[in-house]
Structure formats: C-alpha cells, structure tokens
Amino acid sequence: MQNILVPTTPAIETKPGWKLAPAAFGKPGNQATVWAECPDFCSENHVDNWTQHAVDLDHWGSDGARWDTDSMHAPAEALLALSARLYLDPTNPDPRMRAATVRIDDESVDVFHTPEMAEQTADELIAFAAQLRHLARQARTFNEGPAEALHQVRGGQV
C-alpha cells in the first residue's frame, strides 16, 4: 500500500506579512476552493464567507477595538457603539485601500482611515474623553452644590 502525503500548506511562498489561506469562489453549489494570499492580520474564514469573484476578496482583522454605552433610560442596552477593525482590499482601485487600513464603524456609518488618520482620531478621542470627564465633574458639582443643599434643607420641597 502506498502512503499518500497530503501537504498541510502549499509549497508556494508569499511576500512577508502575508500567508496563504483557503478561499472559496464561485456560485452557490458550484464553488472552487483555492489558496489565496491573505495578510497575516486577517481572521476571516474565506471558505465560509466565500465570494463569487476573486476580485471581491477582502481581508478583515479580528475585532480590535469596541466601545459602547447604555443610557440611564435604557440600562444594559448598547445604544451608542463604535468599533474598529483592520481592513484591506487588495484589488481596490484606491491604492490606500490596498494597504492595511483601520475601519471605524458606528453601526450606521463606516469610515476607513490610513494609519495616520487613525492615530489622529485616537488623539481626538482621548481629548473627547477628557472633555467628557470634565462635564461629569461639572454635573456632579452642580448636583451636590448649593442648589441641592437648599433643596435638602427644605425637605425635598422646592
């Protein structure tokens, strides 16, 4: 009996930062699975999430960043959310999209940032967080201030 060796990875070299991953293309019921170049950061299953044409193959990082918040009127509901993932579209006519980008999504609009734009946005979000903390301090000071003390002295009567 002859042993048949099935290679677990193809003997094709990729450029640095890229790997080969199985990808399925075609129409439902008539697909072919081939090895496709995939950036190392890509966590997409290109067989389960097949595309009809090879040019539609794009690459996604795993969920890298996510923030959401509820409201005092709807606790435990994520009413406002932001998430960010790495994204790359190797056949996009825009060369910036053929490089790794950061896709930021608020669940209604998504934007694509170059690394420099993402860094600028991160700096702006840090500034926003500082302003938010300042607003929280102002609200607390007001709530605990003279008006609230007078309200308590009057036994809750205005």
User: Which residues contact Zn ion (rule: CB under 5 A)?
Assistant: 38, 42, 44, 59
Smaller CB separation from Zn ion, 87 or 113: 87
Smaller CB separation from Zn ion, 43 or 141: 43
Q: Please, what is the minimum distance in Å from the beta carbon of residue 46 to Zn ion?
A: 6
Smaller CB separation from Zn ion, 38 or 104: 38
User: How many other C-beta atoms lie within 10 A of the C-beta of residue 98?
Assistant: 13
d(CA 117, CA 102): 9
Name the β-bridge partners of 113.
102
Residue nearest to Zn ion (CB): 42
CA angle at 56 for the pair 51 and 61, rounded to the nearest 5°? 90
Smaller CB separation from Zn ion, 21 or 104: 21
Q: Please, what is the minimum distance in Å from the beta carbon of residue 132 to Zn ion?
A: 36
Q: Which stretches of 40-122 are assigned E, i.e. beta strand?
A: 59-60, 65-69, 80-88, 101-105, 110-113
d(CA 47, CA 21): 9
